[in-house]
């Protein structure tokens, strides 16, 4: 299989030398990756001028629907990816993480795009900031799509998940992607890319794949581009030193080496559920993907008194792991990705053994099932024990990217924190305790050195997703050695591909630019109630002023007894004397909301289908018996949802008869679209 690149809307076989890509299981050649002959400047231009423009025409909801359709398309064809991935050394369980995990990430971002983003092409960030006493000058932050390219440099260990977890937020942000997979597993990424191209779901120019070296790609980047890299610290540093990265201030997101730790606490000794969870998780993280995970557990920390029990329990569990051909059902761990990787892992194990003792797994004598131990890139699960972790350096600095972990003891929690943080910045650490105080001490001791912390105990045992599973909703990344970047984290990662800009001007101008009514902007008054207008006929700024209503003592007492809210401020004049907020008995805040609804709601059936909530409620001025209120209702902004209805956000202000603000909030309604003629 000769691997071509998908660029400029077509599959192109590059010219020049080729690299043989071999099976991790058999050592046989499974593909040839070509290098050279690609016009990198043209590839980036095509992405910017065609892909970017096509994506930015779509709203967040349309892009979310695109991700959902792509996920559905790939789901129907995932068995093809499973079959290819066996040659990388991945078992079916490993493929579940890589293939299904990647597709699942598309589904998550599709859902988040629909639920958490507006049906628009830009975002408003935060509230309007008044900048003058008279209210004629204000500021609003907006977030817009970058007009560049997302260049994704992916690692070998997850050819599907790595591509898709970066693709999803970039496309949702409206930025086209140029993806470059690691060569050694590029045949899997190539098959995935073919599916993406053949789906017809992604707009023209929004996705391209480069197989082989990137050539002079980095020389043509601009300030509008983003580089997202996953791989070694050495390669990351090399790329970040590219002159254009500094000159153009190109955004660079890195996810790289990490000496992740699992911490067993003193209260979680043998016989506790947490001890069993700890042993199970460490063994799993050592053997899933043959330990080739950036989030795998490299350092196993336990109280000194529990170290012997930890080693014995892990040895017993690892002895049961069947290593061999990953296509066989009873095989639990396949080979590492290739012979070069095996040499690298064993070289690192040799270095680690200068500070740690081998306690499980013999790299020179082990069996494999259904494969040739010499031709395949097999490594047994290897467990080391470092007796003096405070004096050691290599166990805190060398990552053997394979099925290798080192056990080390600590005397107290302070030492556990110190040892954990010696990793110099990690993607994840997990803590096994049932004591919230112990968990708190560890969290606040190590959090600044980690991108993610997982607290695992008996209460969450059934649902917890594990130490090594980055979830789309949560941040994936870490400081220092881990690269200092962030991926995933829900909608947060979409912002990495967008620019936050402060827009300042008059309320009228801000309203015109953002499409969201700003207080003190002109209002629109019509002869009909705004609830009488269909979604597309309602103007932003359209306003209704209600009649007035006087709040009586009888109203307050009736509301108190009817609802059961007999809080003293509503019922006892004497109790409010000297109160810092209340000048005497006052109306319930929710009474004001209820009366406000009675003042502004148009009762007859019409375009308003439902009220589904309110945001940003603030009670500003207490209302006493005898005071009068009225309501200003203004259409703040609109967001279409589907062909039947759209969301309307209303700015609501409850005013006194002296035009003092008593309460403010935003009301959300679903309004019908005008029926087709």
Q: Rounded to whole angstroms, how far apart are CA atoms 54 and 48?
A: 9
Half-sphere exposure of 654 (CA within 13 A, CB side): 30
Is 160 annotated as catalytic? no
Burial of 610 from C-beta contacts in 10 A (0-12 / 13-18 / 19+) = exposed
Angstrom distances, CA of residue 156 to CA of 32, 55, 317, 668: 16, 28, 28, 47
Q: Rounded to whole angstroms, how far apart are CA atoms 351 and 363?
A: 14
Angstrom distances, CA of residue 117 to CA of 54, 114, 146, 202, 607: 19, 6, 17, 20, 24
Q: Rounded to whole angstroms, how far apart are CA atoms 148 and 177?
A: 9
CB of 385 closer than 8 Å to CB of 328 = no
**84 in the Ramachandran plot: left (φ > 0), alpha (ψ -120 to 50) or beta?**
alpha
Tell me the two tokens of residue 243.
Answer: 């002159």
Burial of 561 from C-beta contacts in 10 A (0-12 / 13-18 / 19+) = exposed
Q: Rounded to whole angstroms, how far apart are CA atoms 230 and 225?
A: 17
Other beta carbons less than 10 A from residue 388's beta carbon: 11
Question: Which stretch of DSSP H or E encloses residue 505?
Answer: strand 498-505
Tell me the two tokens of residue 403.
Answer: 């099925």
CB of 587 closer than 8 Å to CB of 551 = yes
Beta bridge partners of 623: none
Active-site choice (165, 281, 285, 294) = 294
Mapping DSSP to helix (H, G, I), strand (E, B) and coil, where does residue 53 land?
helix
Tell me the two tokens of residue 25.
Answer: 């299981």
Mapping DSSP to helix (H, G, I), strand (E, B) and coil, where does residue 285 land?
helix
Active-site choice (165, 255, 399, 487) = 255
Residue 87 φ/ψ, nearest 5 degrees: -70, -20
Other beta carbons less than 10 A from residue 462's beta carbon: 6
Q: Rounded to whole angstroms, how far apart are CA atoms 566 and 558?
A: 10
Is 255 annotated as catalytic? yes
Q: Rounded to whole angstroms, how far apart are CA atoms 113 and 17?
A: 43
Q: Rounded to whole angstroms, how far apart are CA atoms 170 and 104?
A: 16
SS3 content of the chain, % helix, strand, coil (to 5): 35, 25, 40
Active site residues: 255, 294
């Amino acid at each position: 299989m000769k691997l071509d690149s998908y660029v400029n809307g077509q599959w192109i076989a590059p010219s020049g030398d080729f690299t043989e890509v071999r099976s991790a299981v058999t050592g046989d050649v499974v593909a040839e990756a070509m290098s050279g002959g690609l016009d990198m400047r043209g590839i980036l231009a095509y992405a910017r001028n065609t892909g970017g423009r096509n994506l930015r025409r779509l709203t967040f909801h349309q892009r979310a629907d695109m991700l959902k359709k792509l996920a559905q398309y790939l789901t129907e064809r995932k068995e093809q990816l499973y079959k290819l991935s066996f040659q990388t050394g991945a078992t079916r369980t490993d493929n579940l993480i890589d293939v299904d995990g990647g597709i699942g990430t598309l589904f998550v971002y599709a859902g988040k795009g629909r639920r958490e983003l507006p049906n628009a092409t830009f975002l408003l960030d935060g509230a309007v900031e008044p900048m003058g006493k008279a209210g004629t000058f204000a500021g609003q932050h907006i977030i817009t799509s970058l007009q560049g390219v997302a260049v994704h440099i992916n690692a070998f260990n997850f050819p599907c998940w790595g591509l898709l977890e970066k693709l999803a937020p970039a496309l949702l942000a409206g930025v086209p992607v140029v993806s470059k997979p690691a060569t050694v597993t590029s045949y899997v990424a190539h098959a995935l890319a073919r599916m993406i191209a053949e789906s017809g779901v992604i707009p023209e120019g929004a996705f391209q794949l480069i197989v082989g070296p990137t050539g002079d790609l980095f020389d043509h980047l601009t300030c509008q581009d983003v580089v997202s890299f996953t791989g070694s610290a050495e390669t990351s540093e090399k790329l970040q030193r590219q002159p254009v990265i500094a000159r153009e201030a190109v955004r660079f997101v890195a996810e790289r080496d990490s000496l992740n730790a699992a911490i067993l606490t003193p209260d979680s000794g043998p016989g506790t559920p947490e001890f069993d969870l700890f042993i199970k998780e460490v063994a799993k993280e050592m053997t899933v993907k043959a330990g080739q995970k950036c989030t795998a557990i490299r350092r196993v920390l336990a109280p000194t008194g529990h170290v012997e029990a930890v080693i014995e329990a892990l040895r017993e569990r690892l002895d049961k792991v069947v290593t061999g051909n990953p296509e066989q059902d009873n095989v639990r761990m396949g080979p590492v990705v290739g012979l070069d990787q095996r040499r690298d892992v064993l070289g690192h194990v040799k270095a680690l053994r200068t500070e740690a003792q081998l306690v499980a797994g013999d790299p020179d004598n082990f069996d494999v099932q259904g494969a040739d131990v010499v031709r395949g890139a097999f490594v047994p699960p290897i467990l080391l024990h470092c007796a003096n972790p405070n004096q050691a350096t290599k166990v805190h600095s060398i990552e053997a990217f394979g099925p290798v972990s080192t056990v080390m003891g600590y005397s107290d929690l302070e030492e556990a924190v110190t040892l954990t943080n010696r990793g110099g910045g990690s993607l994840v650490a997990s803590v096994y305790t049932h004591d919230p105080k112990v968990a708190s001490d560890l969290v606040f001791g190590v959090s600044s050195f980690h991108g993610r912390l997982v607290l695992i105990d008996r209460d969450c045992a059934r649902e917890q997703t594990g130490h090594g599973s980055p979830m789309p909703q949560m941040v994936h990344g870490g400081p220092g050695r881990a690269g200092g970047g962030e991926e995933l984290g829900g909608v947060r990662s979409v912002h990495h591909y967008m620019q936050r800009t402060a827009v300042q001007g008059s309320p009228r101008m801000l309203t015109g630019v953002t499409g969201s009514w700003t207080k003190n902007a002109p209002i629109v008054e019509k002869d009909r109630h705004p609830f009488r207008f269909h979604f597309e006929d309602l103007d932003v700024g359209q306003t209704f002023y209600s009649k007035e209503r006087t709040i009586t003592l009888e109203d307050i007492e009736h509301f108190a007894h009817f609802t059961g809210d007999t809080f003293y401020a509503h019922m006892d004049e004497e109790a409010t004397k000297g109160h810092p907020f209340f000048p005497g008995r006052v109306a319930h805040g929710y009474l004001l909301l209820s009366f406000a609804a009675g003042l502004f709601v148009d009762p007859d059936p019409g375009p308003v289908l439902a009220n589904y909530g309110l945001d940003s409620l603030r009670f500003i001025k207490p209302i006493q018996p005898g005071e009068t209120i009225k309501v200003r209702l203004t259409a703040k902004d609109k967001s279409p949802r589907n062909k039947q209805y759209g969301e309307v956000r209303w700015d609501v202000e409850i005013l006194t008869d002296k035009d003092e603000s008593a309460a403010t909030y935003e009301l959300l309604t679903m309004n019908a679209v005008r029926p087709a003629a």
